[in-house]
Amino acid sequence: MAQRTRASALPVVTVLILDDVGRFLLQKPITHQEWKLPLVWMDEPGASIEEMVREKIKETIGLEIGTLVLQAVYSGEEFFFEKHDGTKVYNFTIAYTANVVNVTVPSIVGQAVEYEFFHFYDFPEAVQRQHHLILKSFTNHD
């Protein structure tokens, strides 16, 4: 095994949010070219994963979601990235699925983020590399 340099490990949760016709939600900041799944960084010590995910999804996207179903945990070299400040990060991602229960108005307004639901057979090519791997595991889509 190759020796690794010291890096941070960040826990993050992603949710494959499904609408009533089975499409899944992707988001894209207007300053980026790539779509990604909704993310929740686990940065509030003491909060349960499920509680934090529900709260952040409702606050930022304006969606109330149903039961969170654990799908997989992703980690390894494919989930390594380097931040703009040069910090090296080995990300591990906990992936859930959940259905939309109710649409609300997000409490965080003015975010420059585009949201769209996509069918599994017709999602955009420009998807963040790690999120493409997650979607591929659900869809067997190349």
- Is 2 a domain residue? no
Tell me the pLDDT tens digit for each residue of 4-44: 555 566 678 889 999 988 899 998 888 888 899 998 887 77
- Is 119 a domain residue? yes
C-alpha dihedral (59, 42, 129, 137), degrees to nearest 10: -90
Tell me the pLDDT tens digit for each residue of 60-85: 888 899 999 999 888 877 777 777 78
CATH number for the domain that contains residue 124: 3.90.79.10
Domain count, the chain: 1
Residue 110: its pLDDT value, please?
54
Q: How far apart are CA 138 and CA 97, in angstroms?
A: 10
Domain that includes residue 19, residue range:
8-139
Residues 141, 94, 42, 49: is their CA dihedral positive or negative?
A: positive
Mention every residue, 6+ apart, whose C-beta is less than 8 A from residue 132: none
Q: Is the pTM above the cut of 0.75? A: yes
- What's the token pair of residue 38? 């909704």
